[in-house]
Every structure is written in C-alpha cells, then in structure tokens.
Amino acid sequence: MSNLIIAPVVLPAVLAPFILMVIRHHLDLQRIFSMAGSIALVCISLVLTHQASGGEIQVYELGDWPAPFGIVLVLDRLSALMVLLTSVLGLCVNLYVISTDWDKRGEHFHPLFQFQLMGVCGAFLTGDAFNLFVFFEVLLIASYGLMIHGGGADRLRAGMQYVVYNLLGSTLFLFALGTIYAVTGTLNMADLAVRIAELPADDTALIRVGAVLLLLVFCIKAAVLPLHFWLPGSYANAPAPVAALFAIMTKVGAYSILRMYTLVFGPELALSAGLVGQWLLPAALLTLAVGMVGILGSRDISKLAVFAAIGSMGTLLIAIALFTPLATGAAIYYIVHSTLATAMIFLVSDLIIERRGKEIKPAPRMAQNGLISALFFVAAIALAGMPPLSGFLGKLMVLQASTGTPHQTLIWSVILIFSLVAIIGFARAGSLIFWKTTDPMEDLDLEEVQVAPLQTQGTVMVFVPIFALLFGLVALTIFAEQAIEYANATAEQLFDTSAYIDAVLGETAK
C-alpha cells in the first residue's frame, strides 16, 4: 500500500491553511508556495500515473480500516489520468493568475485555489460514494469563493445563482445516496457493485430511482442540456482564469458518470441496462447542438468560451452514453483534449477581454493582436475539432465508436453539422475581433481607455501557460498512438469490474 495515493489530497489540504494563516499578508510568499505546491502536485501525479499505467489497481485504506467499513482511495488508470490532468491544468492556471495579477484583485486566491485542487483530486481518487459527495462539497465551497473572486455586482449575483443551484444539486445528491443506502446498506462503490448485482430482479424499483437521481446530479455537474442553465451565467461572470480551472469541474461530472455507471450500475446488469444511455444520449446530442449554436449566437467573448465548453461536453457525453469499451476509450481521450482546449479558450478570451472588452464588435487594434489572434485561431480549431489538432482525432474516435449502433446516422449528422456551425461561429467572432478593427485616431476617447492597460499587460509570462496548454494539445496529437492506447487500456480496465472489486474488497474477503 503506497502512501503516495493520498498525497494529491493531503498536499493542497496542508498548503491551503498554511498560506491562509501564516503568510496571508505576503503575496510573493503566497505565490511561491502556491506555485511550489502546483509543481509538486504535477510531479506526484506523474509518478501516480506511471504506477497506474501498468494496470495494477492500488487501494489506500484511510486509517487502515478494511474496505467496506472504512473509506478507501482507489488509484486506477482513469483516476490517475484525471489527477494528472487536474494538476497540469492547475499549474497552467496558477502561472497565468500570477503573471496577470489576478490574485491581487481579491483576497485569498491561493488558499481557495489549493482547496479547489484538493476537492477535485479527492473526487477522482475516492472509492466511496459518500466520500465523493464530501469531495464534491469541498471543491464546490472553494469554487464559490473563486467564482466571486474580485467582486463586482454582476459577479456576486451570478455567484449567488451558482451557489443556490449547486446547493440544490448537493441536496439531490444526498437524496440519491440515501435511497441507494436504504436498498443496499453500503456506500463503498465496489461493495455497491457486488450487492446490486445480487439484488433480486423484482426488487429493483427503489435502486433504479436512486440510480436515476444520481445520474441527474452528475448531469448537473457536467452541464448536460436540460440542466446546463447554471453554467453560462456563472462561468461567463467568473474571473476567466477561474473559469479555465472550472474546465475540470464539468469533467468531474463526466468522470463520476463513467465511474458509477460502469462499475456500480454497469451496462450488462439487468436492472440498469439501457437505463442511463437511453437518457444520456439524446441529452448529449442536444448539449452539443446548443453549445455550438451558442458559439454562433454569443455576443460577448466570455459567453463564446462558455458555449464552446458546453459543446465540447456534448461530444464527450455522446461518447460516454454509448457505454462500449471502444466509445469509452474515445471519451477518455476526448476528456483530456477538451479540458486543455476549454481552458485555453478561457485564457485567450481573458487576454482579449483585458485588452478590448467583452463584446464581440469592431474596436481599435489591441496590443499583440497577431499573437493573440493566432492563439484564438488554434483554440478554435481545437474546439471545433478540425484536422491538425487532437480534437479532430477525438471526434473521429467518437464517430468510429458509434458506427454500428442504432443511432449511428443521428450521431454522425449531429456531430458533423454542428462542427460546421461551430466553425462558422468561431470564424465570425474571430473576424470581428481581429480583422474588423477601427482606426484609433477616429475615436480619441477609446484610445485613451485602451492605451492604459496595454502597457501593464505586455509581459511575456502571460503567454507561457497558454503555450503550455497548446503544447499539451499538440503532444496529444503527436503521441496520439500512445494516448489512444492508454485510453483504450483505461476503458478496458473500467469495464473489467471484477479486478476493481477484487482490489478493493480482496483483503477483506481473505
């Protein structure tokens, strides 16, 4: 039993109070410790991913209590990959926040940031459904603080909506867990899987209710269509780097769906066969459609980024909803791609907002117009799923996985048509922002407004995290073979539930 598994949870959990209580008044020290923590987290998660890539499932028993009685953390390929993704994203966002002084605009950015990382890593590692709820709450509490970071009337009101909606989601989560516990008497995921498989066939009504309630909760987190309406308002009003970090939070929902509905309510179980995919697939198709149309229709740049995020969740959820090992492999590849791409568009949009305001309309040329437009172009290619970058491969894998399923024509046409819509949307926004610039001499007022921020925003450091994300996307394309291999191995491991159950419950059974 390696103690390293709990490090992604413990490290931020120790660092955050330290930053909050000891070095609260020294911003430079805060930055140093926060960066050091982020770098350490990346190193830890690299080691963990290396350990998990062999295919062995490691279990960490908290307090050394055996599995169904105590809480366990489980490290398999999927959770290791997600923790790695979180830590890399965290490092990029942290770098961006420091280089743009976002952390000066309000207090306690870094402690909240570390708590957020702790919650996300914990949610990915835990092997216990109630603990999943607790880590959801940890990451949500931190996200409430980050969401209203910097203040302002609009942001606070959007934050209020966000908090209320997520509190409702948490309540629903508890109702779902209560229902499941009432039927099975356990909340350990592996133990749940065993007990649900043993349930008598005519006694499944209540557990089905629990499964659907749980799906609703995860769909709220993943911003699936009928439940997505909290996302545009809150992400568009959140500070852009925070929204970039939140790119991983919708993935927490997607991850939970993958985990619970392969392991506990597996597709081959009689009680849950077709229960999830049947509902999730149309919702995912609609999510994709609304996201891509939203890109075309949005009038400000932060809304554009938000709808791009929703659209990429749509593609991801289509792959998840198919629930075959091939499609799940595609989904895992696409999770990595869409997290990096979404974070990138949020950071690029922040650069644009800082230089020329939110609205997509002609305005004077901004500083570094060429570089930013190139980055926007790359992010747009990635999100629309155009050839050179990994989005294209991911989309291709999703299309490939859907061949032969009953809804093949529908899935193909929705993905292809709305990719086109997304391209048009990005092209429209890009040409308005970068090409249709007005002459600054025409309007002296505007010039005065624009010149001041330009000088402060000229640092090269700002571009480092964006290029790092871009580098991730390119690497994902160049090393596609290895990445796809890992994704498919992960999917295989997910569908081979007996290995997971043995790893978690094995020692108790002996």
Partner 1 sequence: MEFLVSSAVAVLTSCGVYLILRQRTFPVILGLSLLSYAVNIFLFSTGRLVQNLPAILDKYGEGIYTDPLPQALVLTAIVISFGMTALVVMIALSAYLTSETDKIDMTETTDEGDSA
Interface residues toward partner 1, by CB under 8 A: 130, 134, 137, 141, 144, 148, 151-154, 156-161, 163-164, 167-168, 170-171, 174-175, 177-179, 181-182, 185, 187, 228-229, 232-233, 290, 294, 299, 303, 307
Per-residue tokens: 81: 């990959």
DSSP letters, 29-92, are HHHHHHHHHHHHHHHHHHHHHHHHTTSPPEEEEGGG--TTTS-EEEE-HHHHHHHHHHHHHHHH
Phi, psi of 128 (to 5 degrees): -135, 130
Provide the minimum distance between the beta carbon of 429 and partner 1 in the complex, in angstroms, as a whole number: 15
Q: Which is nearer to partner 1, 68 or 385 (CB)?
A: 68
Provide the minimum distance between the beta carbon of 140 and partner 1 in the complex, in angstroms, as a whole number: 8
Q: Which is nearer to partner 1, 158 or 281 (CB)?
A: 158
Provide the minimum distance between the beta carbon of 349 and partner 1 in the complex, in angstroms, as a whole number: 16
Tokens 């005519």 — which residue?
Answer: 202
Q: Which is nearer to partner 1, 94 or 186 (CB)?
A: 186
Residue 245: C-alpha distances to residues 23, 115, 199, 362, 435 (Å): 24, 12, 40, 29, 29
CA-to-CA distance for 246 and 236, rounded, in angstroms?
Answer: 11
Q: Which is nearer to partner 1, 169 or 394 (CB)?
A: 169
Burial class (CB in 10 A: 0-12, 13-18, 19+), 204: middle
Instruction: Tell me the three state secondary structure of residue 204.
Output: coil
Nearest to 240 by CA among 146, 338, 339: 146
Provide the minimum distance between the beta carbon of 244 and partner 1 in the complex, in angstroms, as a whole number: 20
Number of H helices, E strands in the chain: 20, 2
Instruction: Tell me the three state secondary structure of residue 358.
Output: coil
Provide the minimum distance between the beta carbon of 375 and partner 1 in the complex, in angstroms, as a whole number: 25
> Which amino acid makes up residue 52?
A
Angle (CA) 225 345 31, round 5°: 115
Provide the minimum distance between the beta carbon of 131 and partner 1 in the complex, in angstroms, as a whole number: 10
Per-residue tokens: 415: 């993905």
Is the Cβ–Cβ distance between 111 and 20 less than 8 Å? yes
Provide the minimum distance between the beta carbon of 191 and partner 1 in the complex, in angstroms, as a whole number: 12
Q: Which is nearer to partner 1, 72 or 372 (CB)?
A: 72
Q: Which is nearer to partner 1, 392 or 418 (CB)?
A: 418
Q: Which is nearer to partner 1, 179 or 488 (CB)?
A: 179
Instruction: Tell me the three state secondary structure of residue 364.
Output: strand
Provide the minimum distance between the beta carbon of 144 and partner 1 in the complex, in angstroms, as a whole number: 6
Provide the minimum distance between the beta carbon of 174 and partner 1 in the complex, in angstroms, as a whole number: 5
Tokens 């990595």 — which residue?
Answer: 336
- Length of the chain as a residue count: 510
Q: Which is nearer to partner 1, 22 or 182 (CB)?
A: 182
Contacts of 420 (CB under 8 A, 6+ apart): none
CA-to-CA distance for 48 and 195, rounded, in angstroms?
Answer: 30
Q: Which is nearer to partner 1, 32 or 174 (CB)?
A: 174
Q: Which is nearer to partner 1, 61 or 76 (CB)?
A: 61
